[in-house]
Structure 1
Amino acid sequence: MTADRWNSQYPVGTPVTAYPGCRPEDDPKAERLVTRTRSTASVLGGHTAVVWVDGHSSCISLTHVDPGGTS
C-alpha cells in the first residue's frame, strides 16, 4: 500500500497491530504491538512506505502494520 492511500484511509490515531521485526507468518515468535498510529505514513528512502506507532521508537513499514489493532 502506498503512503498516500494509507493516509486517505487511516487517520493518525488509527488502532493497528504492528510487527516491528518480522510478521508472524515468517516467525511465530514475532513481536506484536497492539497500538495506534502517531503519524501519517511517509516514504522512507524513496521507496518504503512507513508509519510511526505509539510504544515503538522507530518507524515501521506499512507491510508490517495491520489496521484494526486486533490481529
Structure 2
Amino acid sequence: MTGRPTREDLQHQVDTFNARYPIGQRVTLRKDDGTDVDTRTRARAAILSGHSAVIWLEGVRGCYLLDRVTPIKSDEVAA
C-alpha cells in the first residue's frame, strides 16, 4: 500500500470543501516556506491530474494542495 488517496477520496475531499465554502472564502494558506498567508479562494477546489486535491487562491501563483488551506470563520480576525 502506498498511502496515496484514491480518486474517490480526492473527490470526496473536493466535494466536501466546495459544498461548505463558496468562491471568495477567506482562508489561510501554509506556503512551501512555512509562512502563512491570508487570502481568498478564486475558484472551486478540483482534482489536478487525477492525483491531487487543489485550490486556486487570490494573489497566489498556481494552485496549492487543499490540505494546505484552512478556512477562516467569519467571526475570526485575520492576523
Give the TM-score range, shorter chain.
Answer: 0.7 to 0.9
Q: Identity across aligned pairs (percent)?
A: 36
Max radius of gyration: which structure? 2
Aligned residues: 64
What secondary structure, in the 3-state scheme, does the structure 1 residue paired with 2:67 have?
A: helix
Q: How does 1:39-54 map to 2 (within 5 A)?
A: 39-54=43-58
In structure 2, stretches of 5+ residues that fail to align are 1-11
Ranked by relative contact order (alpha carbons within 8 Å, sequence separation 6 or more), the top structure is 1
Greater share of helix residues, 1 or 2? 2
TM-score under structure 2 length normalisation? 0.72
Alignment-derived partner of residue 15 in structure 2: 4
The letter of the residue matching 2:68 is: H
Q: What's the RMSD between the two structures over aligned residues?
A: 1.9
Moved over 4 A (4+): none
